Amino acid sequence: MRKCAPILLVLSWVALSAAPVNAQIEFVPKAELDRLGLQRYWQSSPPLPVGELVKQHTLVDDNVYLISESNLAVAVHSGTGVVRWIAQVADRDQQVREPTHSDAYTFFTGPASVKVLNRRTGELAGEPRRLRGVIVTVDHDTARISIGAAHGVRLDDILDIFNVNDSENTTREPIAQLRVTVVDHKEARGRLVRESRTTKIFPGDRVRQDVRLPLREVKLPFAAASPAVADEEDLFVGAANQRMYSLRFLSGFTNWRVLTPKNMSAAPTLFGDSVYFCDNDGRCASATKRKRKRNWEFYTDGAIALSPVVTDKYVFVASSDRSLYCLDRETGRRNWTHRFDNVPDLEPVISDELIFQRTKGNNVHAIRIEDGEAVWKREAAGRFMLRLEDDAYLWNDTPPMLMRVAIDSGEIEDSVGLPMVTFAEASPADQLIVFGQSDGSLVCARPKKAPHLKPEQLAIVLQNDRKAKEIDRYVAEKEAERERLAAARAEAEKTREKAKYSFLADDDFLTSRITTEPAVKSKAEEKPKAAAESKPKEEPQAEKKEADPWGGDPWGEDDTDSKDDKKDDDEKDKDDDKDDDKDDDDKDDDDDDDGWDW
């Protein structure tokens, strides 16, 4: 039933949108918007638990997020007002930081973990893992393989085994399977599951599997101090132990970490192949995402609690030293610095040739990007929302007011009070403003020239989200079917093993039951007996093992390793020792101070 929740919510909104606007959502009058050159584009009342209010709200890319007091998150498509999904993102009493986006996922950062959801469907992110390795040793019904936790292997994974010559032939059936029972850092062990006892498995045979499981959450190595951001593979988060971590979020593997004195509370920013981050020690730095290679670093005179804003050419950093810095993105060199009378308290917003910065006291500053010169300043004006041609729109929370000002001078052209509005979010790129109330009611305003919302737009959003749900559900069903077949095959193997052992090892119906001595013994039988009696007694020999009814070791391998196997094991142990030494060196590198605490 839970999987159907997002669809039911969407249908409930569609029914609501067809009804006339009632008094409960008439908190943004059309006439007031018309005065400012705007139109009401859509309205929505997303479902919240009875009696709960919105405690957090934000607009990220094309989603408006409302988080209730019980940490229930509702995602609304900003372009149409369609309720995409609703999901529990944390326990009721936990702190949840503002969500961030990658191309496919939404990330909700809690105290010690990060919830990863599909940003269009709200379903748990899939955990695709491509496992490829080789059999190292075989011991009866178990085997050791060359891949472990560092490569994404988990307990109870089922890997297919192929002969070394058939490993790249995807049409061949596996000769056996391995169920993982022990996982170490760089290797794993498991129990073999074979169709037949006569199947031979040798060191060097290949193991492989493509696994996709629901990713419940990403466990963090330390308590989070900043919101997490991620691309499609790696997650970056500031921790309370004065470090920033890079994690492979689908496997939980730590790629690297870097020291951040006095912690970092601002979310890192990803751009291209680099990550840009600032800390409370006043440092802004850039490093490559994959290998932690330092690009540059820049120090300000105060703590930095706001995320850097990155463009193709520049990095903008708002510092508590009452300054906005414009840095060259590739070199980190300072192009200019703009000083304010007070401390910046929001990230700057870029619009064409201008950048807008709010400082403490709700003062809005318009600054020219080219040289950092002030264009205008408006006190107690709130914050910049968006730009429409020659006008800029500013929103003030106290009292709730929307203002239209001239873009070149900051002079107020008109303003309207909206006392019933609790919060407002904007997307300058999409030229829209979303007004909200504490009960979750929303109204979207767009320019009058914007085309009216059409049913086709709703259908596209609904269709895309439905397709995404269907794909995720199809993959999950296929994975469940594969696991069911594997379990059935394993159960059948157990039954077959019992029958074979009871037939040849336990049942003695082939043994002769004649107990009488033969009447006449041949001379051939008497001579060995006489020779045995005359032969002096020898020391007792070690007891020889009885011949196995299967014609040797029933698993197709000797109990002890051959000399070649031991040699291979010794060589691998040496390689492992080298790898461990290298890992220790890497760890020492992480902890060492190389001049800038990397």
For 281-322, the pLDDT digits (tens) are 999 999 999 889 999 999 999 999 999 999 999 999 999 999
Query: Comparing C-alpha atoms, which of 563, 577, 554 is closest to residue 198?
Result: 554
Question: Which pLDDT tens digit goes with each residue over 13-50?
Answer: 433 333 333 444 489 999 999 999 999 999 998 888 88
3-class SS of residue 369: coil
Contact 180, 188 (CB under 8 A): yes
Closest CA to 213 of 250, 173, 175: 250
**pLDDT for position 170:** 59
* The pLDDT value given to residue 473: 61
Question: CB of 106 within 8 A of CB of 75?
Answer: yes
- The per-residue pLDDT for range 395-407, each reduced to its tens digit, is 999 899 999 999 9
CA 394 to chain centre: 36
Strand (E) or helix (H) holding 526: helix 523-534
pLDDT over threshold 60, residue 180: yes
Report pLDDT for 258.
Answer: 94
Q: Which of 352-356, 462-466, 578-582 has the lowest mean pLDDT?
A: 578-582
Reported confidence tier of residue 506, pLDDT bands at 50, 70, 90: very low
37 or 592, greater pLDDT: 37
Each residue's pLDDT tens digit, 275-285: 999 999 999 99
Answer yes or no: is pLDDT of 261 > 80. yes
Q: What confidence category does residue 522 fall into, taking pLDDT thresholds of 50, 70 and 90?
A: low
Q: If pLDDT is split at 50, 70 and 90, which confidence band does 573 have?
A: low
pLDDT on residue 472: 56
pLDDT band at 520 (very low <50, low <70, confident <90, very high): low
What is the average per-residue pLDDT within 360-370? Answer: 95
CB-CB neighbours of 119 under 10 Å: 23
What average pLDDT does range 65-83 have in this prediction? 93
Helix (H) or strand (E) run with residue 568 in it: helix 563-591
Q: What is the mean pLDDT of residues 363-368?
A: 96
Is the predicted pLDDT of residue 588 greater than 50, yes or no?
no
Question: Which pLDDT does position 388 carry in this prediction?
Answer: 92
Q: Which helix (H) or strand (E) holds 274?
A: strand 274-278
- The pLDDT > 70 percentage for the chain reads 72
Q: Retrieve residue 281's tokens.
A: 């020690």
Q: Check residue 490 and give its pLDDT.
A: 73
Number of DSSP helices (H) and strands (E) in the chain, helices first: 5, 38
pLDDT of residue 424: 96
Residue 558 has pLDDT above 80, yes or no: no
Instruction: Give me the chain's average pLDDT, please.
Output: 80
Structure tokens given for 159: 């890997």
The winner for highest mean pLDDT among 123-132, 205-214, 378-387, 446-455 is 378-387
Residue 350's SS3 state is strand
How large is the average pLDDT for residues 158-170? 77
Give Cα separations from 390 to 196, 394, 489 (angstroms).
78, 13, 70
Task: Say if residue 138's pLDDT is above 60.
Answer: yes
Residue 111 is encoded by which pair of tokens?
């105290």
Compute the average pLDDT of residues 263-278: 95
**Could you give the angle at which helices 5-18 and 455-501 cross, rounded to 10 degrees?**
160
Find the mean pLDDT for residues 167-195: 84
Residues 6+ positions from 539 with CB-CB distance below 8 Å: none
What is the pLDDT, as a whole number, of residue 469?
59
Average pLDDT over residues 360-379: 95
Lowest mean pLDDT among 187-201, 226-240, 409-423, 426-440: 187-201
Q: What is the pLDDT of residue 9?
A: 40
Q: Is the pTM of this model over 0.85?
A: no
**Which one-letter DSSP state was computed for residue 516?**
S
Predicted pLDDT at 575: 54
Q: Report pLDDT digits (tens) over 449-471.
A: 888 777 766 666 766 666 555 55
**Arithmetic mean of pLDDT, 109-136:** 88
pLDDT of residue 29: 93
> Which secondary-structure segment (H or E) carries 271?
strand 269-271
Is pLDDT larger for residue 84 or for residue 502? 84
Beta bridge partners, 5, equal: none
Does pLDDT of 598 surpass 70?
no
* Lowest mean pLDDT, pick from 112-126, 208-222, 320-334: 208-222
Residue 547 has pLDDT above 60, yes or no: no
Task: Say if residue 543's pLDDT is above 60.
Answer: no
Residue in 452, 430, 384 with CA at minimum distance from that of residue 77:
430
